[in-house]
Amino acid sequence: MRVIVLNGVNLNMLGRRDPAVYGGLSIAELEGRIYEWGRELELTVQCRQTNSEGEFIKWCHDAYDNTDGMVVNPGAWSHYAWSIHDALDMLSIPIVEVHLSNVEAREEWRRTSVISDLVAARFIGEGPDGYRQALEYLKEQTT
């Protein structure tokens, strides 16, 4: 199973950005764990991170013909980027939304997800383990 993990805006600052909220791992350390979990689950995983909404959308388009499942953490784009919603809406693969922090317990504006109606599952507030749970969920979809 081919899985793409797309991390969005500001996630390149992990490890520097409020570790009490986002944890202490850098994006490279997080991706290392994701790749390790992927190998354990016998998944082919590709991780990407960008601060460019257009690039994030292009990666969604690129997944159309060559990806079996997707894990997305758009960061703050989750709360307002209808263009990302529309890019994901074209896909017929299972999509899982992940957030390191518990967005439901934070500021009111963070509680809205414009992609929640498109995703097969959401893992929020689980820190890095949310990505592991997302990969496990996608693996279960193929067995």
Does the active-site annotation cover 85? no
Q: Name the residue among 125, 107, 128 with its Cα closest to residue 37.
A: 128
Residue 64 annotated among the catalytic residues of the structure:
no
Q: Which of 61, 99, 131, 137 is catalytic?
A: 99
Residue 92: burial class (beta carbons within 10 Å; 0-12, 13-18, 19+) = exposed
Residue 104 CA to residue 13 CA, distance in Å, equals 22
Q: Where in the sequence numbering do the catalytic residues fall?
A: 22, 99
